Structure 1
Amino acid sequence: MTVLTGRTALVTGASRGIGRAIAERLAADGALVAVHYGSNETAARATVAAIEQAGGQAFAVRADLAETAELAALFAGLRDGLAGRPLDILVNNAAVIDYTGTIEGATPEAFDRLFAVNVRAPLFIVQRALQLMPDGSRIVNVSSGVTWFATPDVVYGMSKGALNVLTRSLAHTQGKRGITVNTVSPGITETDMNTWLAESPEAARGVANMVALGRHGQPADIADAVAFFASDDGRWVTGQTLEVNGGLWLGPPTP
């Protein structure tokens, strides 16, 4: 498909996992994609190479999203790569998790870093990106199912809840420009954050038993949902959170 031909996109945290899958899908749909990474240049270059080998267009941009000062470098690289073109699609995907961020183990330092990447960075990326985005553009925030089911990692869940609030507020304020803003909320998905899914067949079976469709998620499952919001098909949907989780915890397993 080439439904995004002529459009451009910035995907944060796009060197691996869900972010890479999103970048590859948007590029396959025709967009020129800016592949953001924080520190793993090798992985980012591999993502760009994979996109180009598949016939797409992409370039890498680096910034440590824990540092507000580095946003200037992110947007300088973005402008260079866009070469005068506007930014049509922004996907705030980059995030970090700290499994010690429980009510017992949370520290101010870990809290600050997690909120810096997961909440502060998306806010100020949007603030800058809106100056480059024409009317009718798309913003997609990648949240998490931990906003509606409880886990011990309270700090991470709080950060993702804040992202959901950001989506609703932006959808309201940017509607006058025809800019849609939506959230994709992945269920239990096989990524670097959830390496246990690949390492433990027993754990993977346990997840499958909680999911109506009988399996945990893959990055491409999430990327396809993002692609819908980024396309013209999503033109009349804004301010929404889409749970992409295969039917997680809909009820007890059926016989």
Structure 2
Amino acid sequence: MTTYTTNLLDFSSKSAIVTGAASGIGRACARLLAHAGAEVVALDADAAGLEKSYAEVDNVTTAVADVADLSRVQAAVGTMAFDVALNAAGVMIRKDLTETSPDDWNRVISVNLTGYFNVLKAIAPHMPDGSAIIQIASITAHLGYRYPAYSATKGAILALTRQLARELGPRGIRVNSISPGVIVTGLNDTYFADPEHATPTISQTPLSRLGAPEDIANVALFMASPLASFITGEDILVDGGLGSTAHF
């Protein structure tokens, strides 16, 4: 019996959780998984953003929680058994080392790294054989970039992904990460609306454009699907080729 590619991208019998789902990459991933048929829990601290993003999407349930708070994450997800978990919650503080305060550092760490740990701590014990965990890292994990707190968390996500791939592999759980390049989201849309900032980045990108959240969601759908059934512990750079040429 032939298995067609379209069937492999059918998530109608699957459940998924996406963090940072009120906007940007998280929202694009949650909506694409829902479009593919999954029952999706969209989790974010932004209640208004969640309501706006999913008011007309029947197979998305919203959950309000700050991923930095393990007890709130646990209360939001209970003992649900998710087939797909996608960690996308994140904050960025645009400060260099001398400007970054201990409070700045701790806030970025608490969301971008501890938040990922909290979500996986709450749900990984209940994930079934054949499930997939996808973590949103960043091109900043691969290149020297100007924001130390943000870059440090994204580099740590790569290490965490590799470690969990080994730990959870015997249970049939795949763990991979995606490193977006320059993607226009709510974190940076004002910044890149200025041609002075956008033009140099576009000129260094072989595909000659900035990325969109949907570019990342498309790869996430592949990584969550049986098409990627023999891939774990890997990071996919989705950057239009920027990492092959750029020096920030």
The alignment's TM-score, normalised by the length of structure 2, stands at 0.91
Secondary structure, aligned partner of 1:149:
coil
Task: State the Cα deviation string for residues 203-245 of structure 1 (Å, max 9, x = none).
Answer: 3222211111110100000000100111110101000000000
Q: Which runs of 5+ in 1 are unaligned?
A: none
Aligned to 1:141: 135
In the alignment, the residues of structure 1 paired with residue 197 and residue 93 of structure 2 have an alpha-carbon distance, to the nearest angstrom, of 20
Q: Which stretches of structure 1, 4 residues or longer, exceed 3 Å deviation after superposition?
A: none
1:190, 1:197 within 8 Å by CA — same for their partners in 2?
no
CA distance in structure 1 between the aligned counterparts of 2:99 and 2:192, rounded to whole angstroms = 27
Partner of 1:9: 16
Shift of 1:68: 2.9
User: What stretches of structure 2 of length at least 5 have no aligned partner?
Assistant: 1-5
Distance in structure 1 (CA, Å) of the matches to 2:72 and 2:66: 6
- Aligned residue among 68, 75, 96 for 2:91: 96
AA at the equivalent of 2:225: S
Of 78, 82, 90 in structure 2, the residue corresponding to residue 87 of structure 1 is: 82
- For residue 49 of structure 2, the aligned residue among 43, 46, 49 is 43
- Find the counterpart in structure 1 of residue 67 from structure 2: 65
SS at match of 2:89: coil
Corresponding residue for residue 191 of structure 1: 185
**Cα drift, residue 72 of structure 1:** 2.6
Structure 1, residues 58-81: CA drift from partner, whole Å, max 9, x if none?
Answer: 1100111232332232224xx5xx
Are 1:168 and 1:181, in contact at CA under 8 Å, matched by a contact in 2?
A: yes
Aligned pairs, number: 239
Determine if the alignment matches structure 1 residue 245 to structure 2 residue 239: yes
TM-score, reference length from structure 1: 0.89
For 2:104, the equivalent position in structure 1 comes to 110
Q: Does 1:31 align with 2:33?
A: no
In the TM superposition, residue 197 of structure 1 has moved relative to its aligned partner by 5.2
Query: Is the contact made by 1:5 and 1:30 (CA closer than 8 Å) also made in structure 2?
Result: yes
* 3-state SS, counterpart of residue 55 of structure 2: helix
1:127 to partner: Cα distance: 1.8
For residues 76-129 of structure 1, the C-alpha deviation after alignment (integer angstroms, 9 at most, x for no partner) is: 4xx5xx6xxx210000100111112x2101222221111111111211211221
Alignment of 1:175-254 (within 5 A): 175-196=169-190, 198-251=192-245
Say whether 1:18 aligns with 2:25. Answer: yes
| Partner Cα distance (1:127, 1:176) in 2 | 17
| Residues 69 and 118, structure 2, Cα contact 8 Å, conserved in 1 | no
User: In structure 1, what is the Cα distance between the partners aligned to 2:201 and 2:244?
Assistant: 13
- 1-structure distance, mates of 2:83, 2:70: 23
Over aligned residues, Cα RMSD in angstroms?
Answer: 1.6
* 1:42 Cα deviation from its structure 2 partner: 1.9
- Partner SS, residue 187 of structure 2: helix
